[in-house]
């Protein structure tokens, strides 16, 4: 079964720092969510939590209003860049028999990257949505180049038996 991971698409991460193609990323995540739900698979929304701006229930912790998040979706809290680290994510996926992950979210170079590597090391079949993740400009590199670099790098990770797939949302939707 395929699950859609939506990492850190939270109000607090989109206030202030401009995220590259944020509206397009949200639209493509919503398209993927509709397709995954139509096949009876799961949408898992990952929310960063801490004791400050991302405290559970705080305005910054909330999912972006433009995201098509539904009550029947699964919500998992995390406290580190790795969505699996000391969270219930692995248990949730195994319980639902989800073995293939479409990974989307914010921020490409932190939580998305770390979660992709962690999922691959746990033997999940990982498909990165090439146009389904975003980040902000960094002092040394614009966001668009960070995204381009990570998509290139993930497609070349050395993982015997289960290489990471990097494809655009439309391509993944066609293959569901």
What is the model's pLDDT at position 160?
84
Three-class DSSP category at 80: coil
For residue 48, name the pLDDT band (cuts at 50, 70, 90).
very high
The domain covering 2-174 belongs, at the CATH homologous superfamily level, to Isochorismatase-like (3.40.50.850)
Q: Where are the domains of the chain?
A: 2-174
Bond from prior residue into 108 cis (ω within 30 degrees of 0): no
Beta bridge partners of 90: none
Q: Which residues contact 116 (CB under 8 A, 6 or more apart)?
A: 103, 126, 128, 154, 164
Confidence tier at 103 by pLDDT (50, 70, 90): very high
Element (H, E) at 8: none
Chain segment 58-79, per-residue pLDDT in tens = 999 999 999 999 999 999 999 9
Please provide the average confidence, as pLDDT, over all residues in the chain. 96
Asked if residue 4 lies in contact with residue 43, where contact means CB atoms within 8 angstroms, the answer is yes
pLDDT-based confidence at residue 176 (cuts at 50, 70, 90): confident
pLDDT tens for 148-165 read 999 999 999 998 888 999
């Amino acid at each position: 079964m395929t699950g859609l991971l939506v990492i850190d698409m939270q109000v607090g991460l989109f206030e202030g720092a401009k995220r590259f193609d944020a509206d397009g990323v949200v639209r493509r995540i919503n398209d993927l969510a509709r397709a995954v739900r139509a096949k009876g698979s799961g949408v898992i929304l990952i929310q960063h939590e801490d004791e400050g701006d991302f405290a559970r229930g705080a305005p910054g912790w909330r999912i972006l209003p433009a995201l098509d998040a539904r009550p029947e979706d699964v919500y998992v809290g995390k406290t580190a860049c790795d969505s699996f680290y000391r969270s219930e994510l692995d248990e949730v996926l195994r319980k639902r028999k989800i073995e293939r992950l479409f990974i989307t979210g914010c921020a490409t170079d932190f939580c998305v990257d770390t979660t992709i590597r962690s999922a691959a090391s746990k033997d999940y079949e990982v498909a990165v949505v090439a146009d389904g993740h975003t980040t902000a400009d960094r002092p040394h590199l614009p966001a668009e180049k960070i995204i381009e670099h990570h998509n290139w790098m993930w497609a070349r990770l050395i993982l015997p038996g289960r290489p990471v797939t990097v494809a655009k949302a439309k391509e993944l939707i066609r293959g569901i």
